[in-house]
Amino acid sequence: MANTAVSTALAAAVFAGGCFWCVEAVFEELDGVQDAVSGYAGGSPETANYEAVCSGTTGHAESVKILYDPKKITFRKLLEVHFATHDPTSLNRQGNDVGTQYRSTIFYANEEEKKIAQDYIAELNNKHVYDKPIVTTLEPLKAFYPAETYHQNYVCQNPNQGYVRAVALPKVDKVRHKFADDLKEKSPLEKK
């Protein structure tokens, strides 16, 4: 008898848009996202650590690797969520987080992702969705380095921490309202 189990191939996308705690928390809310991992992209393996990246001199951006089921959610939808939950017109900063490590970037894995991102940015610009030009960069993904363990699932682990309450949770609320039809049945932030 043939094995009828179907394995679902997951895809990965790597985005940067400020503090990785916030970006990770936003994407964890979405149905079809199996995991979101905080980490670093854009620099070398030798400097892929929080202390070095905080210097703003490593080329890394605080990034999130999103593992998702493309049968449930598309790369385009991930882009829509990303652009709706951070300021893509702010160069090398998000709020009080300042430096190249907080830049808005799509780290594309292939030409198809690059084209989808280029087309979406052009669409946003043509519709004048933002008052200022989008400064999000498109950079080829050379490598992604997971961040230290204490950064993973930070918002879920520390929902009452000051920065989380002031910055991350409002972004989660935004995705819950704007993308209500795309959410998991139960938020990862809900107590088990």
Mean pLDDT of the chain: 94
- Asked if 22 is an active-site residue, the reply is no
How large is the average pLDDT for residues 90-96? 95
pLDDT grade for 191, boundaries at 50, 70 and 90: low
User: What are 177's two structure tokens?
Assistant: 């309202």
Cβ atoms of residues 63 and 16 within 8 Å: yes
Query: pTM for this one?
Result: 0.93
Looking from the CA of 157 toward its CB, the CA atoms found within 13 Å total 8
pLDDT grade for 192, boundaries at 50, 70 and 90: very low
Question: pLDDT tens across 151-163, in order?
Answer: 999 999 999 999 9
* From 19, 22, 54, 156, active-site residue: 19
Question: pLDDT tens across 14-51, in order?
Answer: 999 999 999 999 999 999 999 999 999 999 999 999 99
Q: Domains (ranges, CATH) in the chain?
A: 11-181 (3.30.1060.10)
What distance in Å separates the CA atoms of residue 42 and residue 58, rounded to the nearest whole number? 8
